[in-house]
A and B are shown apart, each in its own frame.
Chain A
Amino acid sequence: MTSIGVITFPGSLDDRDAQRAVRLAGATPVALWHGSHSLEGVDAIVLPGGFSYGDYLRCGAIASLSPIMAEVIDAAAKGMPVLGICNGFQMLTEAHLLEGGLIRNDHGSFICRDQKLRVENASTAWTTGFETGAEITVPLKNGEGGFIADAETIARLEGDGRVVFRYLEVNPNGSLNDIAGISNARGNVVGLMPHPEHATEEGFGPDTALAMRNGTDGLTIFTSAIASLVSA
């Protein structure tokens, strides 16, 4: 069975939610530890959300220098699917696995809402289960989620189809071009600020037109990775 590792850093919050999402998607979750140098033979990796090291220095900066990140960077270079959610996205930019950076929300406040997104690229390792242009809703909760990069980088990300998720209706944090998530050139490394792992089980997700807390749009991100690995 496919196994997906979820790395816990000091201050990670959503590691167990990510493990649960992996299990609901049909893979075996493996708890990995930031201080280790072993990926325990997993097939893919999730860097979960939270506030590693209390967001000291810069969000994700100290975690990106963890022992296990050397193995993550090696594995990403070999094509292993890596997903960074929120603080995990911040770590991926700090580790230079993804371009750009995340800064404090333009309005200066923490924000928590059910966020509508458009899937702009359905060919990454984490999005093959979507149709291009699919609209999904997953929770978003961040204080420093404003995606920025220089104009040349933004143009390249847009031109190469590496904007994977885009905010719809509301830009919750001032991200340039409403960018919610991006990928590396190969498409195996994806980072996004919203939290798909919180929309994977009926009764525990965002509200839908049908019922309260019934949204499970995030599950496809995890099933996509499993399908990508099986077909690889």
Chain B
Amino acid sequence: MPVIVVEVMPKPELLDPQGKAVAGALHRLGMAGIAGVRIGKRFEVTVDEVTDAVLAEVTRLAEDMFSNSVIEDVVSITTIPTATGS
């Protein structure tokens, strides 16, 4: 079945304490050349088929439920087509 992938990130202007903690750990491990880490979310929505109506509905959900526009941005919505034979 096809999957619609929604990616959500904390707004760039906001502090991302999770990313900051990971970046801090990397620095403590001596990793050079990493300026920062930000952590977001990826939603994989399995659907019966991808139609314009289904895409529109998932886009609405991405903006209204999967993300909170006060603190996050939907950065991408992509489709993974059905793998043949699966």
Contacts and interface: CB of A to CB of B under 8 A. Distances in A.
Interaction A to B: yes
Most chain A CB atoms below 10 A, which of B15, B17, B71 = B17
Interface in A100-136: 100-101, 103-108
Given A61-B65, A108-B21, A93 B15 contact: no
B34 interface: no
A105 to B, nearest CB: 7
A149 B14 CA distance: 10
Nearest to A62: B65
Given A108-B17, A108-B21, A174-B15, A100 B70 contact: yes
Contact of B68 (A94, A104, A108, A150): A94
A93 B70 contact: yes
B78 interface: no
Contact of B14 (A61, A103, A107, A108): A103
A63 B66 CA distance: 14
Given A103-B10, A103-B14, A174-B15, A61 B68 contact: yes
Contacts of A174: 15
Nearest to A144: B17
A150 B70 CA distance: 8
Contacts of A103: 10, 14-15, 17, 71
Contacts of A107: 17
A107 B68 CA distance: 22
A65 B65 contact: yes
A101 B14 CA distance: 11
Contact of A108 (B20, B70, B71): B20
B71 A148 contact: yes
A149 B71 CA distance: 8
Interface residues of B, number: 12
Interface residues of A, number: 20
B18 to A, nearest CB: 7
A58 B17 CA distance: 15
Interface string A133-157: 0000000000000101110000000
Contacts of B68: 58, 61, 93-94, 101
Given A61-B65, A65-B65, A101 B70 contact: yes
A103 B71 CA distance: 8
A105 B65 contact: no
B70 A149 contact: yes
Interface of A: 57-58, 61, 65, 93-94, 99-101, 103-108, 146, 148-150, 174
Given A58-B68, A61-B68, A105-B17, 6 more contacts: A57-B66, A99-B70, A103-B10, A103-B14, A107-B17, A174-B15
22 contacts: A58-B68, A58-B71, A61-B68, A65-B65, A93-B70, A101-B70, A103-B14, A103-B17, A103-B71, A104-B17, A104-B18, A105-B17, A106-B15, A108-B17, A108-B18, A108-B20, A108-B21, A146-B15, A148-B70, A149-B70, A150-B70, A174-B15
